[in-house]
Every structure is written in C-alpha cells, then in structure tokens.
C-alpha cells in the first residue's frame, strides 16, 4: 500500500517538474488594452499593453521636424498628426485630426489614473479655454509632443509653462466601438 502511494508521489512530482519546461501558454486577446501575460517555463512575463506600445512608438518620432498639418514620422508633423498616426498604426483607432476633437474623443482622466499611452491636452493659444495642443504620456510626468519651435520632443509636466496651460488628461477608447 505504501509503495503505491510512494510511486504516485514520484509520478506527480515528475509531472509538475516536466510540464512547465515543455509547454508555453499564452493568455491574450488581440486588442486587449491591458497588459497581457505570457507563461514561459513556469515564469509569468508581462507583455506591453496597447497603450504602452503607443508610448514606445511615440518616442520613435523624437526629432521629427514640426510642420503644421504634417503627420509623417521623420519628415514633418504637428502634435495632433503625431497622435493620429501613432494610434492608427499601433491600436487601429481612427482619431480626429485636431487636438480639440481628440480631447472630445477621449475619456477624461484624473492625474492619478494616467498611464503610458494616455494623452495630455493643453490650451496654448490665445483662448485659454480652447484646447490647441496634445502629447502622449510616456510615464506619470513626461510626454512626447510636437513643439512648433523644436519639433517632436520629450517634455516634463512639472514645467511651469505646461502647468499653466494644462487642460486635461485623456484615454483613447480601445474597444470595438472606437475601432470602427
């Protein structure tokens, strides 16, 4: 009787040790806006979410010269053109062309809810109530945007100019309704 229990215990241990090394499983949904997990050799590894991929792609635009109405990485872009192209390429979301309409398209966020890939909006024109500038957040305080004088750059939310002109944070809806 004890021999059967001993053999069963050994067999169970072998199965537990062998299975994680033999098989990888993946839990994901193609358009999942949250981070996905992959189990490889028994270790859970976090895959970037769609928004994190947006933040990474926005950074590849750094150094692109500014041109009003432009939306061409490496050649010329304005702030809303950058956002529009990055979200279309990475998330397959068709964004409005100007920053004010992009702000309306987004879900408004509190500062504590901001994640990489979310957007930040400013009123930088003569009308202090009219949104006229947008950037892509890459972490809690830094964002990528197209500056009219410097091209696509990385800036800090703690800069007095951006504190003074800040209007809101927004999250682009990634559900199926937004992708139509």
Residue 106 known to be catalytic: no
Catalytic residue among 13, 29, 41, 79: 79
Phi-psi category of residue 114: left, alpha or beta, with phi > 0 → left and psi -120 to 50 → alpha: beta
Residue 56 near residue 39, CB atoms below 8 Å: no
Residue 29 known to be catalytic: no
User: Would you call 120 helix, strand, or coil by DSSP?
Assistant: strand
88: Cβ contacts below 8 Å, ≥ 6 apart = 94, 95
Catalytic residue among 22, 41, 106, 145: 145
Residue 133 known to be catalytic: yes
The catalytic residues are 79, 133, 145
């Amino acid at each position: 009787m004890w021999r059967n229990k001993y053999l069963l215990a050994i067999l169970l241990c072998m199965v537990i040790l062998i299975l994680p090394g033999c098989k990888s499983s993946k839990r994901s949904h193609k358009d999942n806006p949250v981070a996905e997990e992959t189990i490889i050799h028994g270790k859970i590894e976090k895959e970037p979410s769609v928004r994190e991929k947006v933040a990474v792609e926005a950074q590849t635009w750094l150094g692109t010269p500014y041109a009003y109405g432009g939306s061409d990485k490496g050649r010329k872009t304005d702030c809303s053109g950058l956002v529009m192209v990055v979200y279309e390429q990475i998330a397959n979301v068709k964004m409005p062309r100007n920053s004010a309409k992009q702000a309306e398209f987004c879900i408004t966020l509190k500062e504590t809810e901001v994640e990489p890939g979310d957007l930040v909006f400013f009123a930088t024109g003569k009308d202090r109530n009219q949104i006229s500038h947008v950037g892509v957040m890459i972490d809690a305080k830094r964002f990528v945007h197209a500056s009219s004088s410097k091209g696509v750059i990385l800036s800090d939310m703690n800069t007095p100019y951006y504190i003074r002109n800040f209007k809101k944070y927004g999250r682009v809806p990634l559900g199926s309704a937004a992708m139509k």
